[in-house]
């Protein structure tokens, strides 16, 4: 047994005393350390003690709108990791056009007696949606936390990326490069993040003296095709730089520029939003706004845990600052 403990401790990079606490289910070990020990146990081929395999594990629903946009798998991974640290089991519910609705997923989660639900960019972010669904959840006693898309009519913790700070950083960067005709390619107006970005964009243009009364915002879908359509409108009206509401839209904007015989970034600069997986390897590598995914997800799960303990975390929205990541898709304004 001593040799086994030493092997596991070396693999997990902890003390043998810590391994002993985990294997015997004793307190005083963080969730992350506990997971490291259990992972080492599995890697070395040791069977987990029955007390660890039979112990009930709480279930938490995780509802996301899609997985085709690379930023949502990033949110899923970060939330699942944090839940696992707390020995909670996530039940992933992914929506798709014409597929299972958010409401139906919630019914399934309630049938599984989940201990709580995290919603990422769900219907709570849609200004046209009926918010009664969330009040009914609250009345049923199920703890919920909502990510991105604040609405003060919902009695629940909210955690979001600071959209205003993201737009400010984007516009400031492009102005510093000498751009005076800056456009915004954004998604549908009914979403809270869209409205926040549009409002922040107008304020940023005014702050830099660039609000000339012209049309500098083009709305479409949060897809590459939507980005291409919105960017085409902005390019046709003489914009030399385009801020996009997502990385997928930015890739579509680059395609639009090339279809118009323009070079990125020599003729037009393109700036994305999310810092999704692989955009650093786009052609050119994409300048973008990095969402603080890990910080947002950790705060969301911590708020959910507090709700599950019967506490009532603050209903003031937690905002996390994004980061401008400068790569090759932005450059000095032409001429």
| Predicted confidence (pLDDT) at residue 70 exceeds the cutoff of 80 | yes
From 81-85, 134-138, 171-175, 184-188, the region with the lowest mean pLDDT:
134-138
More confident residue, 12 or 179: 179
From 68-77, 195-204, 230-239, 243-252, the region with the lowest mean pLDDT:
68-77
Could you tell me which residues come within 8 angstroms of residue 288 by beta carbon, excluding any fewer than 6 positions away?
A: 247, 250, 271, 272, 273, 274, 275, 276, 279, 325, 327
| Predicted confidence (pLDDT) at residue 57 exceeds the cutoff of 50 | yes
Q: So what's the pLDDT on residue 55? A: 41
Q: So what's the pLDDT on residue 3? A: 56
User: Domains (ranges, CATH) in the chain?
Assistant: 2-53 (1.10.260.40), 58-161+293-320 (3.40.50.2300), 163-291 (3.40.50.2300)
Mean pLDDT of all residues belonging to the chain: 91
Q: pTM higher than 0.85, yes or no?
A: no
Q: Which residues pair with 275 in a beta bridge?
A: none
Long-range contacts of 212-217 (CB under 8 A, 24+ apart): 216/181, 216/182, 216/183, 216/184, 217/183, 217/184, 217/186
With bands split at pLDDT 50, 70 and 90, how would you rate the model's confidence at 54? Answer: very low
Question: In Å, what is the CA distance from 99 to each residue of 95, 114, 126?
Answer: 6, 22, 18
Pick from 293, 273, 276, 236: nearest CA to 75: 293
| Predicted confidence (pLDDT) at residue 81 exceeds the cutoff of 50 | yes
Query: What is the percent of the chain where pLDDT is above 70?
Result: 95
In tens, the pLDDT along 93-131 reads 998 767 788 999 998 888 888 999 999 999 999 999 999
Q: So what's the pLDDT on residue 41? A: 84
Q: So what's the pLDDT on residue 2? A: 52
Mean pLDDT across the stretch 183-192? 97
For 115, the token pair is 């201990």
Q: Which residue stretches of 13-87 are H helix? A: 16-23, 31-43, 50-53, 71-85
In tens, the pLDDT along 310-330 reads 888 889 999 999 999 999 999
């Amino acid at each position: 047994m001593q040799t086994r403990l030493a092997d596991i401790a070396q693999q997990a990079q902890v003390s043998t005393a810590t391994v002993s606490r985990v294997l015997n289910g004793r307190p005083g070990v963080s969730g992350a350390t506990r997971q490291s020990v259990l992972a080492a146990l599995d890697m070395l081929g040791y069977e987990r003690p029955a007390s660890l395999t039979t112990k009930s594990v709480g279930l938490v629903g995780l509802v996301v709108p899609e997985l085709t946009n690379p930023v949502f798998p990033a949110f899923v991974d970060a939330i699942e990791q944090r839940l696992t640290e707390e020995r909670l089991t996530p039940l992933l519910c992914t929506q798709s056009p014409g597929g299972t609705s958010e409401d139906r997923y919630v019914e399934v989660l309630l049938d599984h007696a989940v201990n709580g639900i995290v919603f990422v960019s769900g219907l709570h972010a849609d200004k046209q949606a009926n918010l009664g669904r969330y009040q009914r959840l609250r009345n049923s006693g199920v703890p919920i936390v909502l990510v991105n898309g604040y609405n003060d009519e919902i009695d629940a913790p909210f955690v979001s990326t600071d959209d205003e700070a993201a737009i400010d950083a984007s516009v400031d960067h492009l102005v510093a490069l000498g751009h005076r005709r800056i456009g915004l390619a954004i998604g549908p107006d009914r979403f809270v993040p869209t409205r926040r970005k549009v409002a922040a964009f107008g304020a940023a243009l005014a702050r830099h003296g660039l609000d000339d009364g012209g049309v500098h915002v083009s709305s479409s879908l949060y897809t590459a095709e939507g980005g291409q359509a919105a960017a085409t409108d902005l390019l046709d009206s003489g914009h030399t730089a385009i801020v996009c509401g997502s990385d997928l839209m930015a890739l579509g904007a680059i395609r639009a520029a090339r279809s118009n015989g323009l070079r990125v970034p020599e003729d037009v600069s393109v700036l994305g939003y999310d810092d999704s997986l692989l955009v650093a390897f786009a052609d050119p590598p994409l300048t973008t706004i990095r969402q603080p995914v890990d910080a947002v997800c950790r705060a969301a799960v911590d708020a959910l845990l507090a709700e599950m303990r019967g506490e009532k975390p603050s209903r003031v929205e937690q905002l996390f600052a994004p980061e401008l990541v400068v790569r090759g898709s932005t450059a000095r304004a032409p001429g």
